[in-house]
Structure 1
Amino acid sequence: MSARPLPSAAPADQGVDAAGVQAFLDAVEAAPSIEPHSLMILRHGRLVASGWWAPFTPQRPHLLYSLSKSFTATAAGIAAGEGLLNFDDPVISSFPEFAADITDPRSRAMRVRHVAAMASGHEAETFDRARALDAEELVRGFLLVPPERDPGTVFAYNQPATFTLAALVQRVSGQSLVDYLRPRLLDPLGIGEVAWQRDRSGREIGFSGLHAPTDAVARLGELYLRDGIWEGRRLLPEGWVADASRVHITTHDAPVDWLGRDSMFGYGYQFWRSPHGYRGDGAYGQYCLVLPEQDAVVALTSASQDAGLLLDLVWQHLLPAFGPGPLAGREEQDTALAQRLARLALPPADGKPTPPERQHDWSGAEFTPQDGVCADQPTLTSLAVTPDADGWALTLAEGEHRVELRMPGAGWQVTEGKVPAAVSGGWTGPDTLAVAVSFLETPHRLEVTCSLPERTFTARWHTAPLSGAPLHTLRAPRSSD
């Protein structure tokens, strides 16, 4: 189904100071550790600002990383409301085929609410241990890892806990997460196509892997802000929003050294409490910020090396922009903001056209990793530069797999092939080609430099895929996969 546009309004009409949004844009674009991809701001139920930094676009699905967890929790909440899932039941009761193997009393005492709240009793992430114990069935592997503490007493950010929650929903519903959510959440919210990464057994992984446009993130946040009611219809069980967004386990003394300053306020059901409101949160700055005191939602996607700084800039610039009432005489400021949002673009990498005297030398040139293997992306085995009808093409090879890309004359050149990507850059000298490759359905950009005399290349990630995935998989899953 095609999504009905969110109702919109001028920022000033909803008490939003356009100058604060402009200051946020200035700060984000000036921060070298932040690469913004999209922004949507809703206030009082109206979309007051939205923009995408080209080559990113509104319809493009984006890998949400751990923001996927909030969609998984929403599915679990709906399942509980339908009587399919009981948050007080032991997890093992839904997996009787593992019962004989799971003998640890703490694992057997673990309840659905414990995995929903990252309070399984484990003191650290269990993914590698669980996969080592059972690579084919991660739920079993997870339950085989004995918790160090009683469930419900300690927080640990733990991917298999959310995987187990997702597996529970899929088991009790008999459907995939997307199929289960489609008539209950996605269609009523007006969310179009989304795709979710699956494990070896074919189940959606739940803790990550959801590819969805920014609009879907904004609509989920607005649904939570409205206590689960959308256009007069209750989509989430009564009381679910309050329960999911309250603190179920404290995080201020969590034994995890990477938790930033905005993660010390407690954890709900796959939502973080924030210094202001609460949020769904994904690696590299994928955010759904729900701000009840401001009656606002902020949806962000990015490729941020310092996602904490991105949140700081929200608190510094956007939060003060939410005023108590409409602002008079701000038409000029609102128009200027709308114009800026419409022309947002990431700066392209530096580079010039092929040096005329070297065109023949570059035509068909092939390159291998400078040190024998590409340390940042070991699957990348060779590159080739070839002329085509409109300029130049770049081929990234991973054994038998090829990622074919168009090279820009200027700005960003988008290739919509099997792996949607955009390339910018060019020749920085007669013997050097340097390009940036943005994989448009992810927060990842690869910076490639080719040396003609040595016939070698280097490739470095600006933000590296957390899964170490091959380049040809850096896209939303397709039904044909």
Structure 2
Amino acid sequence: MSAIAFSVRFLLAGLTAAVLVAGRAVAEDWPGADWTRRPVAPGPALAAFEAYAFPPRDDGERSGVRSDAVVAIRDGVLVYERYAAPTTADTPHLVWSVSKSLLACLLGVAYGEGRFGLDDPAARYYPPLAAHPALHMRHLLNWTSGLAWEEDYEYSPLTSSVIAMLYTRGHADMGRFVAQHQAGAAPGTHFSYSSGDSLLLAAVLKGMLPAEQYADYPWAVLFEPLGIGSAVWERDATGTFVGASYAYLNARDLARVGLLMLRDGRWGEHRLLPEDWVAFNRSPVPGYRPRAESLVPGGHWWLNLPLEGAPPPWPDVPEETFAALGHWGQALYVLPKEKLVIVRFADDRDASYRHNDFLRLARAAFVVGEAP
């Protein structure tokens, strides 16, 4: 069955599916064309959450409120959503580096199709990496390529590799631009967050697929099976997806990706992502040394795990929490123990927002039901 046929069949099949728990079938809620809705009741906990998530903002350049959108899904049911103009429920919002985790999901489908292994040399699929024969797929996915890359943004435009890749000398062929960087460390020996590594993964995926399949691949194998209709993903002049930065989805659709990951790669009665792939996404980068209040990197996702005696970066949420995060406050949070998925879109530029505070208040509003 084609991915498109599967998508249509699933959407027509209804909103529930069963999973075996302790040997018995348990019904689960899944979205069809839309989400089932059971809004949380108003109360002090919800009011405290909204006071944090949507306070008025006026910093001289931007006015409005702190968040552009928040959508919360509890065990497959939409329990909360709110938008701030001009963002609406239908707005495909730029998710910035959340794109990296979307790319990880897309690669997970390719991995499940047997197109590559984690220890395959990346140059096997992208010849411009021939100068880096020891660079393997897992290194790119763990941001441990060792390439000498400067992950700076608008604050350091003259030295930023990202600015050069997206807007100046590298923008026409982003993959080749990244591949031309020199090695600064041996692959797998040093974690350094890199949009260049993510862009290379998009170029590598292109080399795994027949030329006629690549442009439609995200929709055919991921977005359409999940029922996502709002997705836009920009490509460079060579046709390579800008897998580091330039995906757009509306909040309800991004929440579908969160539900996929919450349920370990299953969608209804079908498995889109292999279990070992999701386990890799949620495993810390080998040898990573924790930094104060910094999330732990996984396989192109961010983890809340305590390491080497350091506390979880977000102490007020379960340590199993993981997230996809993007520039200026874009976030897809997954809290497995709470069966909770939260999407947040924003335009944060004043450094006042705190993930832990947001999630502490969200748990109180959507799970505990009590004021914090």
Amino acid at match of 2:138: R
The percent identity for this pair of structures is 28
Structure 1 stretch 265-274 or stretch 3-12: which is displaced more?
Answer: 3-12
Aligned to 1:117: 142
Written as runs of structure 1 = structure 2, the 5 A alignment for 1:39-438 is 39-96=70-127, 99=130, 102=131, 107-122=132-147, 124-125=149-150, 128=161, 136-174=172-210, 179-249=216-286, 261=293, 264-274=294-304, 275=314, 276=317, 277-306=321-350, 309-323=353-367
Q: Give distance in 2, aligned partners of 1:98 and 1:122.
A: 11
Q: Which residue of 2 aligns with 1:35?
A: 66
- How far is 1:207 from its partner? 0.3
In the TM superposition, residue 52 of structure 1 has moved relative to its aligned partner by 1.2
1:240-297 Cα offsets, whole Å, 9 max, x none, are 222112212566567xxxxx83xx2311121111334111111111110001121101
Per-residue Cα deviation, 1:2-50 (whole angstroms, up to 9, x for no partner): 96111222426xxxx8532321111233363763111111112211111
Aligned residue identity for 2:270: R
- SS of the residue corresponding to residue 50 of structure 2 reads helix
SS of aligned partner of 1:188: coil
Conservation of the 8 A alpha-carbon contact between 1:123 and 1:155: no
Question: Aligned letter for 1:216?
Answer: D
Question: What is the rounded CA distance, in whole Å, between the counterparts of 1:252 and 1:306 in structure 2?
Answer: 28
Conserved? CA contact 2:235–2:241, under 8 Å: yes
Shift of 1:124: 4.4
CA contact (8 A) 2:99 2:247 kept: yes
Q: Deviations over 1:400-436 (max 9, x none)?
A: xxxxxxxxxxxxxxxxxxxxxxxxxxxxxxxxxxxxx
CA distance in 2, matches of 1:11, 1:283: 29
Q: What residue number does 2:4 align with?
A: none
Letter in structure 1 aligned against 2:359 = W
Residue 125 of structure 1 contacts residue 157 of structure 1 at CA under 8 Å; is this kept in 2?
Answer: no
TM-score, scaled to structure 1: 0.59
How far did 1:239 drift?
Answer: 2.2
Paired residue secondary structure (1:11): coil
Give the residue type in structure 1 aligned to 2:295: F
Once the two structures are superposed, residues 317-349 of structure 1 have per-residue CA deviations (whole angstroms, 9 ceiling, x without a partner) of: 11233546xx7xx9xx9xxxxxxxxxxxxxxxx
Indicate the RMSD between aligned Cα atoms, in angstroms. 2.9
Larger CA Rg, structure 1 vs 2: 1
1:225–1:290 contact (8 Å) kept in structure 2: yes
User: Whole-Å Cα distance in 2 between the matches of residues 18 and 165 of structure 1?
Assistant: 45
Contact 2:173 2:236 in 1 (8 A): no
Larger mean Cα displacement after TM superposition, 30-39 or 148-157: 30-39
Q: d(CA) in 2 for partners of 1:25 and 1:177?
A: 41
Q: Which amino acid aligns with 1:159?
A: S
TM-score by length of 2: 0.75
Moved segments of 4+, more than 4 Å = 129-136, 175-178, 249-254
Shift of 1:182: 1.7
CA offsets 1:191-226 (integer angstroms, 9 cap, x no match): 103211211212211001111111121110011001
Cα-to-partner distance string for 1:110-136 (whole Å, 9 max, x where unaligned):
111111111112464366398598665
Structure 1 contact 166–177 (Cα < 8 Å) conserved? no
Q: Does 1:4 align with 2:4?
A: no
Change (3 A) 1:238 1:284: same
CA distance in 1, matches of 2:205, 2:351: 30
Contact 1:76 1:85 survives alignment (8 Å): no
Contact 2:97 2:245 in 1 (8 A): yes
AA in 1 matched with 2:303: R
Counterpart contact for 2:281–2:299, Cα < 8 Å: yes
Give, in angstroms, the shift of residue 308 of structure 1: 6.5
CA distance in 2, matches of 1:37, 1:187: 25
Q: Which runs of 5+ in 2 are unaligned?
A: 1-7, 12-31, 60-64, 152-159, 305-313
The residue type equivalent to 1:113 in the other structure is R
CA contact (8 A) 1:284 1:302 kept: yes
Query: How many residues of Structure 1 are paired with residues of Structure 2 in the alignment?
Result: 310
User: Is contact 1:123-1:156 (8 Å) kept?
Assistant: no
Mapped contact 1:249–1:266 kept (Cα < 8 A): no
Letter in 2 for 1:95: Y
Q: Distance in 1 between matches of 2:267 and 2:52?
A: 34
Instruction: Return the alpha-carbon distance in structure 2 between the equivalents of residues 199 and 150 of structure 1.
Output: 28
Q: Per the alignment, in what secondary structure is the counterpart of residue 34 of structure 2?
A: coil
Change (3 A) 1:134 1:50: closer
Structure 1 residue runs without a partner (length 5+)? 255-259, 334-481
Structure 1 residue 157 displacement after superposition: 1.6
The 3-state SS of whatever aligns with 1:314 is helix
AA at the equivalent of 1:7: T
Quote the Cα distance in structure 2 between the aligned partners of 1:267 and 1:201: 30
How many Å separate the matches in 2 of 1:7 and 1:84?
A: 35
Rounded to whole Å, the distance in 1 between the matches of 2:126 and 2:83 is 44
Higher relative contact order (CA 8 A, sep 6+): 2
